Amino acid sequence: AHPDPSLSSLFAKENLAGMSEEQLNRYDRLINEPSNDWDIYYWATEAKPTPAEFDNDVMAMLREFAKNRNREQRLRQPDLEYLFEPPR
């Protein structure tokens, strides 16, 4: 299970359109190369340091996005339909 399956997909929805081709390539590498989705989550939330090879402008954007997302989640009640999602 992924701690926040929507983190990278929401980030993508909000940011991919404005990214350069180089940034898109770095994002693609970031979401496909680490063997573990948890790693990306930990780096984005700064629970673990990001390895140098992935510590770039795209990772910085994702970290900023995670911070804003955490603030939004504290301000708003969770969506009820989340409770009815089938388990993955």
First to last CA, the chain: 7
Residue 20 CB partners (closer than 8 Å, separation 6+)? none
What DSSP character marks residue 65?
H
C-alpha 10/C-alpha 14 separation (Å) is 6
Indicate the burial class of 66 (C-beta count within 10 angstroms; 0-12, 13-18, 19 or more): buried
Query: The tokens of 74 are what?
Result: 């504290």
- Whole-angstrom Cα Rg for the chain: 14
Q: What is the pLDDT along the chain (88 residues), one digit of tens a residue?
A: 445 557 888 999 999 999 999 999 999 999 899 878 889 999 999 999 999 999 999 999 999 999 998 887 777 655 655 556 555 5
